[in-house]
Amino acid sequence: MKVPLPRPNELWRSPLRGPWLTSVLGAVLLVGIPVLFVTGLLSYAAYNPNLSHVNDKTPGKGLLGFYLFSWPTHPYWLYRLNQGVHVTLGIVLVPVLLAKLWSVVPKLFALPPVRSVGHALERLSLLLLVGGGFFEFVTGILNVQLDYVFPGSFYPLHFYGAWVFVGAVLAHVALRLPTAVRALRSRDFRAELRTPTSRTRPEPPDSGGLVAARPADPTISRRGLLGMVGLGSLALAVVTAGQSIGGPLRGTALLAPHGRSPGTGPGGFPVNKTAAGAHIRPQDVGADWQLTVSGAGGSVRLGLAELQRMAQARAALPIACVEGWSTGDQHWEGVRLRDLAALVGHPDDPPGVFVESIQLTGSFRAVALSAGQVRDGRTLLALRVNGADLTPDHGYPARVIIPGAPGVMNTKWVGRLTFGATDFPERT
């Protein structure tokens, strides 16, 4: 006796699947993914990668760096906002992405697997779309939690992966947008939000194979499904956004890595690289510590007391990390970089500066700053924060603080400033 096996399109029985539902979820991603992409590109530009190889973790970018520009210092919260949006939105979109994939899963198993050459190429493109999308979301989510298990350095993986993903997204949108627009027009969104489970019916049979051939009775309405996905996104936003918004909301970021401050007092705000982690020994930053400042007019060496005798400037600036967390404005006090430039032969219009930490190894122990960053009066070699000396973990005896730049460029435990240079003096 022959038992008829269920045809693959009969395995998927949810009465909610259909072009309309897929298009609603797709429309959310169609807004969200471009925002993620643009904020991601801006974040790369914020490192001023064209200035120096030490700023650039993706030197092989070629044409993909076509858009780069000198990163501004106004408004000073630009990077904080950019990166808060990038990371928080990426996390918030996870339920939408998974729901979108759930809504189209029957197509993965559709038979025959390949109908034509064109269909085969489109499926290859979908592999880039889904594989690239997962790759971007997974590497980003792991990196913000400091879980460096992915195969390589985060910057190149996430940057080049983004271009692969976006290349596939562009094709997908170009090929599917007409269908999606038709599907969105096929049902009234607000009427759908008033339809309870008891009145939920499957969408009319479609040529794309999303609507179930043998739909089961509904157990949840489309409104219910969209609400559930939205609630997932809302919950993720609530436990995440506070690490970026800060203030009293920081405490609501229950699951985010920087939902707490490591201490209290003037230096109690979050850190991401400690003195011990950077192998800074107490004797390296003791009474013998000196800062070397070089420029076109020669070199000077300054101890902490000499720096303290120079004109002290103040700036209220946040630390904003590529990982999406940031501090509120901290009150920094120290010497303007442009005043230090004036000491070594750059009285007016100083050039950029190459900043080196006494940290001997590790990423971003040196950074090149643009002339624009040096000339901004709020760019300081900070000696104090919030009315007290810097703590060891915040870079005692001196650190750089720049308006609008990524957190990691605010070099701690500074040992040498070379005006007009973009590389280690030994190398040039």
Q: Of the two residues 276 and 287, which places its CB atom closer to another protein in the complex?
A: 276
Alpha-carbon distances of 133 from 125, 137, 168, 273, rounded to whole Å: 12, 6, 9, 30
Q: How far apart are the first and last CA of the chain?
A: 83
Q: Report how far residue 35's alpha carbon sits from residue 169's, in angstroms, rounded to the nearest whole number.
A: 13
Rounded CA separation 421/160 (Å): 29
Dihedral sign (CA 262, 358, 324, 74): positive
Please state the length of the chain.
428
- Least distance to another protein, CB of residue 57, Å: 12
Q: How far is the CB of 114 from another protein (least distance, A)?
A: 10
Strand pairing of 399-401 and 380-385?
Answer: antiparallel
Nearer residue to another protein within complex by CB, 166 or 405: 166
Q: How far is the CB of 421 from another protein (least distance, A)?
A: 28
Nearest to 392 by CA among 280, 264, 262, 258: 280
Nearer to another protein, 272 or 312 (CB): 272
Our CB check for another protein shows the closer of 35 and 408 to be 408
Q: How far is the CB of 395 from another protein (least distance, A)?
A: 14
Residue 241 CB, nearest approach to another protein (Å): 13
Cα gap 425→354, rounded to integer Å: 9
Which one-letter amino acid corresponds to residue 45? Answer: A
- Cα atoms in the Cβ-side hemisphere of radius 13 Å centred on 146: 7
Residue 59, H or E segment = none
Helix axes 117-144, 154-186, angle to 10 degrees: 120
Q: Shortest distance, CB of residue 269 to another protein, whole angstroms?
A: 11
- Least distance (Å) from another protein to the CB of residue 197? 7
Cα–Cα distance for residue pair 261/404, rounded to 1 Å:
21
Q: Which residue's CB is nearer to another protein, number 78 or number 256?
A: 256
Cβ–Cβ under 8 Å, residues 239 and 213: no
Nearer to another protein by C-beta: 381 or 390? 390
For strands 330-336 and 313-317, give the pairing. Answer: antiparallel
How far apart are alpha carbons 330 and 399 in whole angstroms? 13
Alpha-carbon distance 15 to 215, whole Å?
5
The residue whose two tokens read 């992915």 is 150
Cβ 95 to another protein, closest distance in Å? 5
Closest CB to another protein among residues 161, 350: 161
State the CB neighbour count (10 A cutoff) for residue 155: 18
- 361 burial class (0-12, 13-18, 19+ CB within 10 angstroms)? exposed
Residues 199, 147: Cα–Cα separation, whole Å: 46
Smaller CB separation from another protein, 95 or 318 = 95
Q: Is 404 helix (H, G, I), strand (E, B) or coil?
A: coil
Q: Which is nearer to another protein, 119 or 301 (CB)?
A: 119
Q: How far is the CB of 219 from another protein (least distance, A)?
A: 5
In the complex with another protein, the residue whose CB is nearer, 61 or 416, is 61
Shortest distance, CB of residue 89 to another protein, whole angstroms?
13
Shortest separation between residue 131's beta carbon and another protein, angstroms: 4
Query: Given the complex with another protein, which of 3 and 149 has the nearer CB atom?
Result: 149
Tell me how far apart the alpha carbons of residues 402 and 355 are, in angstroms, rounded to a whole number: 12
